[in-house]
Amino acid sequence: MAHPWLLVNTVLAWLPAVLAFPLFTLGRDARRGVLWWGGVVLFVLFLPNAPYVVTDLVHLRSDVSDAHGPVVTGVLPVYAAFIASGFLAYYLALLQLRRYLVHHGLRARVPAVVLGLHLLVAVGIFLGRWSRLNSWEPVVHPRDTLERVLLALSWSDAPLLVAAVFVVTAAGHFVTRAVVETAWAELAGRRPGGAALV
């Protein structure tokens, strides 16, 4: 089961976490100028790529049917690692943003920002999966993108699909955060002066 899209989608999934590093970690105290805000726009545009990986489960049935070896030890672990990687990237991207907000005294706004991003991401995933819209198209083809977005969001099933994706995205982030931060707390508890994640 060698799919080029597995590698491409994994790279795209990790791009938001990579973008978050200069924006929210290295640039934590940088002046928020045009360049910084441009980076934030790119971050938001590419953020849906991280949890988007869960929608690639649509390929699982055909991969199981075409498998030449054991499914349980061959196909399923690849998909599990692929999806876990995407949600880990999503968690790390949002972790850096949360730390940035806390650093600037905006801890109270963190839940609203995270929930708002979950909603934007759900819309982005919906547009990517059902309208085949790519993250870079709003920058490269803004007018065509706007028309496609309005058309897609006018579908009668759009609200239901976006709501379903929102639940999956928020739940995936919650589970990933719980697993990572529990593991980190265990590890930090065994080391003197171990730091906690925000």
Closest to 165 (Cα-Cα) out of 59, 60, 54, 16: 54
CA 128/CA 46 separation, integer angstroms: 11
pLDDT greater than 70 at residue 57: yes
192: phi then psi, degrees, rounded to nearest 5 = -65, 130
How long is the chain? 198
5: DSSP letter: H
Higher model confidence: residue 74 or residue 92?
A: 92
DSSP sequence for 50-105: TGGGGGGGGGHHHHHHH-SS-TTTTHHHHHHHHHHHHHHHHHHHHHHHHHHHHHTT
pLDDT greater than 80 at residue 138: yes
The whole-number pLDDT of residue 116 equals 97
Are residues 81 and 51 in contact, defined by beta-carbon separation less than 8 angstroms? no
Higher model confidence: residue 139 or residue 85?
A: 85
pLDDT greater than 70 at residue 132: yes
The whole-number pLDDT of residue 43 equals 96
Higher model confidence: residue 89 or residue 75?
A: 89
27-36 confidence digits (pLDDT tens): 788 888 999 9
AA identity, residue 135: S
3-state class (DSSP) for residue 156:
coil
DSSP sequence for 93-143: HHHHHHHHHHHTT-GGGHHHHHHHHHHHHHHHHHHHHHS---TTHHHHSHH
CA 88/CA 14 separation, integer angstroms: 9
The percentage of the chain sitting over the pLDDT mark of 70, rounded to a whole number, equals 87
Q: Say how many C-beta atoms besides its own lie within 10 A of residue 180's C-beta.
A: 16
Higher model confidence: residue 79 or residue 168?
A: 168
The pTM score is: 0.86
pLDDT greater than 70 at residue 159: yes
89-125 confidence digits (pLDDT tens): 999 999 999 999 999 999 999 999 999 999 999 999 9
